[in-house]
Structure 1
Amino acid sequence: MPVRPVLSPETLRWLPWVVAIAFFMQSLDGTILNTALPDMARDLDENPLRMQGVIVAYMLTVALLIPASGWIADRFGTKKIFFSAILLFSFGSLLCALSGTLNELIGARIVQGLGGALMLPIGRLVVLKAYPRSELVRIMGFITIPGLLGPLIGPTMGGWMVQYLSWHWIFLINLPVGVLGCWAVWHFIPDLRGSERTRFDGLGFVLFGAAMVFITIAMEGLGELHMPHLRVMLLLFAGMACLAAYWLRAGNISNPLFSPVLFKTKTFAVGILGNLFARLGSGALPFLVPLLLQVALGYSPSQAGMSMLPLAAAAMLAKWVARPLIERVGYRTVLTANTFALGLMLASMGLVTEHTPYPLLLSMLAVLGAINSLQFTAMNTVTLIDLDDASASSGNSLLSVVAQLSLSLGVACAGALLGGFTGDGGNDGVDTVLGAFQLTFLTVGIMAMLAAAIFLQLSPQDGRKPKANSEHELEH
């Protein structure tokens, strides 16, 4: 058993606040950007319906680096890596604000993602190592509150900044928070390292990462990048081949990046696959809704940001009812019904027009936010609940990767659908931008509804037995 480090009372008191700052920075950045996309596109002389690369570049970078974050922290120490992560995230934010072209902005978002990929996993790791298990639920609950506040205030703040200042300020706001975070890390984060050196699965990391990059670029190739279909197919096959090679190799080595043995736990296998496919629909939501409101319905940035408030507020409220509901009716019923309801609500957004009453639109967004929040909580918990202590860390890391990857694929897929349904999309195109959004929401909703079949594979009793690992539940 590893010996828990002896930390000063001052460090134990302030450490959760420092981790919370990092959580808030990333959560705010992930939601403040969406409302600003149309103005950024106008300033950069780009089509606002083809700006998804700005979001996908960040999410994909985070997904790529998460598997290496634990090994990097054990090798170089949590203090140095956490400090470097916040510094890199802040530097990337400055580069974003200085970007003059879409390609420069995407490159800057990759730099930001390099920092963001290390902030959350290492912050969580420091808390796990610094506090006894009896304190874990309380501490984790505290540090995730700022992460929940980000989606609540991000779209509104982004809308007001874009309308009354400029889109550059949505990145510049990270700089003072980053300076405060770096100072706090240097003073209050302990320098924790792994008790023993473990060998990193470098080849597995390359194969798994290449698979994610090829598949994501293929999805982008159908939308923003306008790639020929032959090149898209080659990228998809290359990605699938890399993924197959990874899993064949992982089953025959002693210390793989992610072990196939994890999938022998039924709830984990169902949870991971359900996360992958259900998030393809829900991941497109924060990208599509602000664009729908501004580009298709003519809302101002501040109006669009304010309109997202019911969605975020309902998501926070749904967290309070998730656990009692799951305990009462079980994971199978909750996830099957909720996934179908999620798809139905996403498809219903395709009925929105310029004549839709504003209170009805806000009500639809609030219901979507609540359903989406319940979906994430139930999916993430059922994925980890039956894993033993030896598998919990690896399972949690794979869940984080799949969550980020499916969100980036969801945005890429939504962008490809928007591009395909616009007037220049060939025979499937429509004459109006609003029509393209309506068909996109309908398609995304049908995709999400189909994911309900995955959760039907759970038995009524799956996940009923309480496990200590449910403490590792991820909020997003």
Structure 2
Amino acid sequence: MQNLDSTVVATALPAMARDLGEDPLTMGVAITSYLVALTVFIPLSGWMADRFGAKQVFMTAIATFTIASGLCGLAHGLAEMVAARVLQGLGGAMMVPVGRLLLLRRVKKDELLTATTWLSMPALLGPVMGPPVGGFLTDLVSWRAVFWINLPVGVLGLLLVWRIIPTLPKSLPPPPDVPGLALVGSALACLMFTFETLGRGLVPAWIPEAVLLLGVVLVVLAVRHCLRVKNPALDFSLLQVPGFKITVVAGTAFRVGAGMVPFLVPLSLQLGFGSSASQSGMVSFATALGAFAMKPMAQFALRLIGFRNVLIWNAVCAALTVAFCAAFRPGWPMIAVFMVLLVGGLFRSLHFTTTNTLAYADVPTEKLSAATSFYSTAQQLSLALGVAVAAAVLQSSVALSGRASAEMPDFSLGFLVAALLMLLSAPLSIRLPADAGEGVVTGRRKK
């Protein structure tokens, strides 16, 4: 449901902008506000699951997300949309990491890769279905229907969780690190506000710079606080685990670039090619189709060349496919665009499967709650940054060229920036031990 929501919104963005009287590039805030809320609230998810029970928190999160989806469909202005999307983010912040925690607590280490692959397969139905469903719903019904489709999915999800998932025992974790949560959340919110508004004329020019300075100060204070307290909001001691550290650092660079692509593709097809929402949706879903096809092959690739080589060389291949998107022009046949996006989806899916598995391979069981909160925060922050950076690159390119709106050269620059960020993750992965993840792949622990 969550992955469906993120992909249908990107496809419906131009129609939402026309109906609400906003610029399509400004409407990117409808995506980033949701991702920011996710990022801000995720650090609390591990403590909530331990204190109130993972199943109960999971069901509450699904209900919150579903209700917020209905409110998004009723919005009549950008402010109402942003408020509803923030509520959606609150639900999503508890839904994804707690759902992952339910899995991680019940599988053995040598089953982790298989379990992660199976967990990802249903989640990929959202991106596969999202672009075409979003396009057709927007053209045939309304952009509002892309949110209302979550209502039956959410109700079904609640029934399935209630019926199938066993209730895990609660625990009495230490009190949450309220000062740490406040510092982390405020710092992330300030940084995302800056990326969303800097140089785009949405607020007075001095405000983004002031908020950026405040955000940097809050980041320093948050890190300093989390390093000093016993049960911090974000446990930075996890960065002492080599596999976890590399997947967070290198994975963030890769995900920022990869997060730009779902924002750039539908906009480039609709604003650059002149395609309808349904036409762009049918082409855009090639990326998710490629990702879906890669999942069964991921285990073979990791067994063949190992985690380290996959993270290095796959990053290069994924970056090249995104850079190739910079050559898109209206004269291209849609089947050619489709194939480029399909191949790109294959490489990005392999990278995400690799990092998602390796991140938890060597994390002690008692640290899993903290690890899921930390890693999910890094994931969502990078995806939010991807959308914000993509919108900022387009806005800057349009302003510098003197054009009234974004055209294909502007989108080409966006794809090149995305490719460069993804490529950056390759050298960052070189320090990963050659035998990293061995116990996950073969069932044997590293020697």
TM-score, normalized by the shorter chain, greater than 0.5: yes
Equivalent position amino acid for 1:336 in 2: I
1:393 and 1:448 mapped to 2: Cα distance? Answer: 28
C-alpha deviations, 1:295-351, integer Å up to 9, x for none?
A: 111111111111123221211121222222222223332212222222222222111
2:6 to 21, 30, 46: 30
C-alpha deviations, 1:182-234, integer Å up to 9, x for none?
A: 44555555554523242211111111111111111110012656345543233
Tell me what 1:247 maps to. 223
How much does 1:410 deviate? 0.5
Tell me what 1:99 maps to. 75
CA distance 1:277–1:469, shift in 2 (3 Å): farther
Report whether the alignment pairs 1:53 with 2:38: no
2:37 and 2:443 mapped to 1: Cα distance? Answer: 27
Report whether the alignment pairs 1:444 with 2:423: no
Where does 1:179-328 land on structure 2 (aligned, <5 Å)? 179-186=155-162, 192-222=168-198, 226-227=202-203, 230-328=206-304
Report whether the alignment pairs 1:453 with 2:427: yes
Report whether the alignment pairs 1:368 with 2:344: yes
1:438 and 1:148 mapped to 2: Cα distance? Answer: 27
C-alpha deviations, 1:370-422, integer Å up to 9, x for none?
A: 11111111222333323233333322321111111100011001011111111
Equivalent position amino acid for 2:250 in 1: G
How much does 1:358 deviate? 2.1
1:468 and 1:89 mapped to 2: Cα distance? Answer: 38
1:262 and 1:75 mapped to 2: Cα distance? Answer: 21
After alignment, is 460-469 or 89-98 more displaced? 460-469
Equivalent position amino acid for 2:417 in 1: T
After alignment, is 231-240 or 435-444 more displaced? 231-240
CA distance 1:227–1:345, shift in 2 (3 Å): farther
2:355 and 2:168 mapped to 1: Cα distance? Answer: 31
Aligned-residue RMSD, C-alpha: 2.7
1:148 and 1:64 mapped to 2: Cα distance? Answer: 24
Tell me what 1:22 maps to. none
1:436 and 1:55 mapped to 2: Cα distance? Answer: 20
Structure 2, gaps ≥5 residues long: none
1:149 to 125, 147, 150: 125
Tell me what 1:435 maps to. 409
TM-score, scaled relative to structure 2: 0.91
Question: Secondary structure of 2:25's partner?
Answer: helix
How much does 1:102 deviate? 1.4
CA distance 1:395–1:55, shift in 2 (3 Å): same
Tell me what 1:340 maps to. 316
Question: Secondary structure of 2:248's partner?
Answer: helix
2:90 and 2:266 mapped to 1: Cα distance? Answer: 26
TM-score, scaled relative to structure 1: 0.86
1:326 and 1:185 mapped to 2: Cα distance? Answer: 32
CA distance 1:141–1:367, shift in 2 (3 Å): closer
After alignment, is 270-279 or 68-77 more displaced? 68-77
1:357 to 333, 340, 346: 333
2:167 and 2:372 mapped to 1: Cα distance? Answer: 23
Equivalent position amino acid for 2:93 in 1: A
Where does 1:75-90 land on structure 2 (aligned, <5 Å)? 75-90=51-66
Tell me what 1:6 maps to. none
Q: Number of residues paired by the alignment?
A: 445
1:327 and 1:131 mapped to 2: Cα distance? Answer: 20
Among all aligned residue pairs of Structure 1 and Structure 2, give the percentage whose two residues are the same amino acid: 36
2:154 and 2:6 mapped to 1: Cα distance? Answer: 15
Report whether the alignment pairs 1:377 with 2:353: yes
C-alpha deviations, 1:344-373, integer Å up to 9, x for none?
A: 222221111111222221111111111111
How much does 1:288 deviate? 1.0
Question: Secondary structure of 2:341's partner?
Answer: helix
How much does 1:172 deviate? 1.1
